[in-house]
Chains A and B, each alone.
Chain A
Amino acid sequence: MDVMPKWAEVILVPLISLILAAILSALVILAIGEDPVEAVNLMVTGALGSTYGWGYTLYYATNFLFTGLAVSVAFHAGLFNIGGEGQAMLGGLGVALACLLIPWPHWTIALVAATVAAGLFGAAWAAIPAFLQARRGSHIVITTIMFNFIAAAVLNYVLVNLMRPAGSMDPATARFPEAVHLPTLHDILGTVGISFSKAAPANVTFLIAVVACVLVWLLLWRTWLGYEIRSYGKSEPAAKYAGISPVAITMIAMLISGALAGMMAINNVMGEAERLVLNAVEGAGFIGIAVALMGRSHPFGVFLAAILFGFLYQGGAELALWTSIPRELIVVIQALVILFTGALDNMVRMPLERLFLMMRRGDA
């Protein structure tokens, strides 16, 4: 029997974890001699107080949405994909090739092509660890971590030796042509008369990420493929009994996961930088793990968690800019959020379950 009602499970537990993380963060800020109230104030105004702040928050959130969904899909199949970072790097390579090699007439067609390329490259990068896991039993956690390093090396080689424009000192590709520049939220909202900061990088990819959330939800809970993925993730012996192929599901789940991680590149590479630079992913692949954990691997939860981490990223940048709080402290705060919502889940859950039990017995 479920001890807690669903709303407590889905909302109350993460919320309390979050508040605990916030309190502990405040103590840390106090300890280094800064004012936590002032810090929160700065973060909130910096990240949510202006369309400029929102523009950055949503930009970061878009990255985390893709990587968070990527981790979630693999997780439902019982696979821990730590390789979102590398898959997103390769996705960036796919986007860069698609944007630079073909002269697209319009950004819409380019976007479709770049999305496909990003997904294919990301999926291909996930395919090798997936195959090794499915056929040889090499643990996917180990192989995907290794593939992050290999991806970084590959990008380094490609950018320095192959795609760097002649004469450039910067290990980056040439800028993408004007025709493939994506409309920002400023452009999109402008058409309906809402003014949005022109300088912020949030762009049309955010909408694609939201659509991806819905599609992932449909896939997992409304198709037989998603049903097979979830079954396999819950119990491999049962999946075999039902005629679900472990090899096929491992491959398919990882390909979808890799493709989602790769698609992050249409946001950061095509939407923001408009060229491919080294270290374009900036750790978003790893944040995706935290986002998926906190979002309970559910697309809606991932959506909320991605927005929260987008806020932490942007708010943290503001904090580092305006106070003497070092940028590293933001990493501490993020780590506390991950610690409380992910690793220390039971610390909050157990007392809550007991509370609900007592209340129920009181009713009976």
Chain B
Amino acid sequence: MTAPAIELKGISKAFGPVQANKDISIRVMPGTIHGIIGENGAGKSTLMSILYGFYKADKGEIFIAGQKTDIPDSQAAIAAGIGMVFQHFKLVENFTVLENIILGAEDGGLLRPSLAKARKTLVELADEYGLNVDPDALIEDIGVGMQQRVEILKALYRQADILILDEPTGVLTPAEADQLFRILGRLREEGKTIILITHKLREIMEATDTVSVMRRGEMTATVKTSDTSPAELAELMVGRKVLLRVDKKPATPGDIVLDIKGLRVVDDQKVERLKGIDLQVRAGEILGIAGVAGNGQSELLEVLGGYADGTGDVSLNGTPLDLSGRSSDGRSRRRRGIGHVPEDRQREGLIMDFSAWENTAFGYHREPAYQSGALLNNQAIRNDTAEKMARFDVRPPNPALAAKSFSGGNQQKIVLAREIERNPDLLLIGQPTRGVDIGAIEFIHQQIVALRDQGKAILLVSVELEEILALADRVAVMFDGHIMGERLSSETDEKELGLLMAGVGS
């Protein structure tokens, strides 16, 4: 019998009082794809960081191909044949593909021989695994799918036999993701071992041979993928039964709340990011904006939220919005009844060092209700926060705790509570459930649907197609600053939207 490619025995790791990994054991056989699934904060990344030498385990042993191996740093991991493809690529933008591949693996002080050798190896690898890339293209000129291939090639060039991929499909279109899975299949045929970390159940079902589920630092189960189902995996992840579909009645759209005509945005580098957008959102409906990240969705939210300048005609309830003048800022937008849950809650939506109550006032801090004379009425804000935290089930319900001390889901609830409880006419939501655990996703989706049922207009931006299809009543697909098409979500599917997302017109 062959030894497992990787075997972890009793791995434990604590960060202060938090037990990130608790007595974890896995065996991954060579030539298989092994999925690791779990909610955010379940300990997947910690476990992989231990395997890649970023952290040292408090307890436990690592065996590579049957040999007990110490991995004190990433150099040792590479030497042991482990390659890692990070969620955020670690590539030098203005270097060529070839230069990126040899970076850190040069032979000797002179570049020329290394480059020549790498070029030869690259051709061989490309043939062997069907990983075609142009070695002389600059990274900044190639797409994300290609960049990911470069990351995989980097690992293969370093003779990795074990490949770890951390949330690899986050930035890919569905078609690119399928392509990635074909490549992974090919690598498996050639005897490579692959560990796929993801929170998407569908990818686990499609791509893996075996799957391990993590919950709160523990490995709750390891099963053959063919013996399980998405529902069972979800239950194992959360520890209770979860609703994978959003329960909602058909929408009853009313008057047009948001009317966008010919909206254009040019960014600081003078690049046109929105190239003439026309959209309408009605009261009582959710308009979903689908698209691969970076095709103008962020700019759309920013200009509507009042912190990027644009040109065109945008009106709210029939009255024009100022897109670049003096009253084009977040405060004026809020006064007009636009709530905004930003895409990146840690960068924009919250001040991580501020307490929950300070964050609850964020953006509304000049409201008369929060003042007493010339001073802020901190007590009023605290009381208000305590109420909102109770209504949105934020845990722990402590208004004095700093935002950074809450989990991703609870941070998002703080932002949602702040924006929804203002009773806005229009709510902008970007990536409502990014980095949020399944349990909280359910709750957040219910809140969004409840707001719609109160007759509010909702503009939802998400890179998760599943989420768009589940939540939105209508879907508009953005590609390269244009709207590629609009569909009723009941009359479309992932395949059709995927084509639009890739810029293939209807």
Contacts and interface: CB of A to CB of B under 8 A. Distances in A.
Question: Does B bind A?
Answer: yes
Interface of A: 1-3, 218, 222-224, 227-228, 230-231, 234-235, 237-238, 240-245, 357, 360-361, 364
Contact of B405 (A1, A224, A234): A1
A224 B349 contact: no
A231 B17 contact: no
10 contacts: A234-B353, A235-B351, A237-B347, A238-B347, A238-B348, A238-B349, A241-B348, A243-B330, A243-B332, A243-B333
A228 B17 contact: no
B361 interface: yes
Contacts of A227: 358, 361, 365, 376
A244 B348 CA distance: 12
A242 B362 CA distance: 6
B378 interface: yes
A243 B331 CA distance: 5
Interface in B339-359: 340, 342, 344, 347-354, 358
B455 interface: no
Given A234-B354, A237-B348, A241-B305, A223 B376 contact: yes
Nearest to A241: B348
B329 interface: yes
Given A238-B347, A241-B363, A224 B330 contact: no
B199 interface: no
B143 to A, nearest CB: 26
In the A-B complex, the 9 residue pairs with the smallest Cβ-Cβ separation, listed nearest first, are: A243-B330, A243-B331, A242-B363, A241-B348, A240-B307, A243-B329, A222-B375, A234-B351, A224-B365
Contacts of B378: 222
A1 B16 contact: yes
B454 to A, nearest CB: 24
B363 A357 contact: no
Contact of A241 (B342, B361, B370, B402): B342
Given A224-B371, A227-B358, A235-B347, 18 more contacts: A218-B375, A224-B370, A228-B365, A231-B351, A231-B354, A234-B351, A234-B352, A235-B352, A238-B351, A240-B348, A241-B330, A241-B349, A242-B331, A243-B333, A243-B334, A244-B331, A357-B16, A360-B17
Given A234-B353, A238-B351, A243 B376 contact: no
A242 B353 contact: no
Contacts of A235: 347-348, 351-352
B60 to A, nearest CB: 19
A243 B17 contact: no
A268 to B, nearest CB: 31
Contacts of A360: 17
A1 B402 CA distance: 8
B375 A243 contact: no
Interface of A is mostly: helix
A3 B363 contact: no
Contacts of A364: 17
B302 to A, nearest CB: 9
Interface in B289-336: 305-307, 329-334
A240 B342 CA distance: 11
A5 to B, nearest CB: 14
A10 to B, nearest CB: 15
B59 interface: no
Contact of B363 (A218, A243, A361): A243
B1 interface: no
A93 to B, nearest CB: 31
Contacts of A234: 351-354
Nearest to B351: A234
Nearest to B401: A1
B375 A223 contact: yes
Interface in B362-387: 362-363, 365-366, 370-371, 374-376, 378
Nearest to A361: B17
A238 B366 CA distance: 16
A364 B14 CA distance: 14
A238 B374 contact: no
A1 B17 contact: yes
Contacts of B307: 240-241, 243
Contact of B374 (A3, A223, A231, A237): A223
A240 B17 contact: no
A112 to B, nearest CB: 20
Nearest to B402: A2
Interface string B170-204: 00000000000000000000000000000000000
Given A218-B375, A234-B351, A241 B16 contact: no
Contact of B340 (A224, A230, A241): A241
Contact of B17 (A230, A237, A244, A357): A357
A316 to B, nearest CB: 36
Contacts of B342: 241
A2 B401 CA distance: 9
B339 to A, nearest CB: 12
- Most central of B353, B362, B405 by chain A CB within 10 Å: B362
B363 A222 contact: no
B249 to A, nearest CB: 32
A360 B365 CA distance: 37
A222 B376 CA distance: 5
Contacts of A242: 330-331, 362-363, 365
A361 B58 CA distance: 15
- Most central of A2, A244, A245 by chain B CB within 10 Å: A244
- Most central of A222, A231, A240, A241 by chain B CB within 10 Å: A241
A241 B346 CA distance: 12
Contacts of A2: 402, 405
Contacts of A3: 16
A238 B342 CA distance: 9
B349 to A, nearest CB: 7
A234 B359 CA distance: 12
A230 B330 CA distance: 17
Contacts of A243: 306-307, 329-334, 363
Contacts of A361: 17
Interface in B12-33: 16-18
Nearest to A231: B351
A242 B306 CA distance: 9
B336 to A, nearest CB: 11
Contacts of A222: 375-376, 378
